[in-house]
Amino acid sequence: MQSNFSLQYPLILASNSPRRKEILSQAGFSFSVLPSDVDESFDDHLPLEDVPALLSARKAQALSDFHPNALILAADTVVILEGKILNKPSTKLEAFEMLSQLSGKTHHVITGITLKSPLGIQTKTDTSKVTFRTLAQWEIDWYIRGGSSMDKAGAYGVQDFIGMAGIESLDGSFYTVMGLPIFQVYEWLRPFILDAKQSPIPF
């Protein structure tokens, strides 16, 4: 069983996303979850690729005053197809329409992350390019009936059936599409890891 890193400060994940919690936990970090409820509107003139960075920073900032001595990690993911953001669907019909639009096309998934620490604030985005093969209507129907599409941007999860069976190619990080570019998160958190060096394992 993997042990967790000891951090200099407590780590707060400002998201209730099961995927983000899974990724961060599997990477070896202990953390508490405190979802940040913020206004997710943005200026229509803002470039779409800048939206996730704006929202992740807003989420982290909302918690920072209440937890000045904590590491606050926030994230936001958007799916962009043909110059339009596909948000989380509000109905199964909307989910069907989104997946039908994504079918046979290439889109971009951008995840913005922000780390607020006692040393300051850092924000960055990572982009992955995803191409779906042409999906059959019954495949979309079957996936939507399972309910997994309703809490995800673009109405799909890369780790779900529709991602496993439908994604033809992925250029970028799998974890960015899943909702948390853990390679970047680790780089930010590494300076706060207390000395974890141990004696070499005797082979």
Tens of pLDDT along the chain (203 residues) come to: 567 899 999 999 999 999 999 999 999 999 999 998 887 778 888 999 999 999 999 999 999 989 999 999 999 999 999 999 999 999 999 999 999 999 999 999 999 999 999 889 999 999 999 999 999 999 999 999 999 899 899 999 999 999 999 999 999 999 999 999 999 999 999 999 997 666 566 65
Contacts of 156 (CB under 8 A, 6+ apart): 98, 99, 102, 143, 149, 162, 163, 166
Q: Please indicate whether residue 126 is annotated as part of the active site.
A: no
> Domains in the chain, start-ordered, CATH in brackets?
11-192 (3.90.950.10)
Spell out a b/e string for 140-158, using b for 16 or more CB atoms within 10 Å of the CB, else e: beebbeeebbeebbbbbbb
Q: What is the pTM of this model?
A: 0.92
39, 44, 76, 195: the active-site residue: 76
Are the C-beta atoms of 154 and 202 separated by less than 8 Å?
no
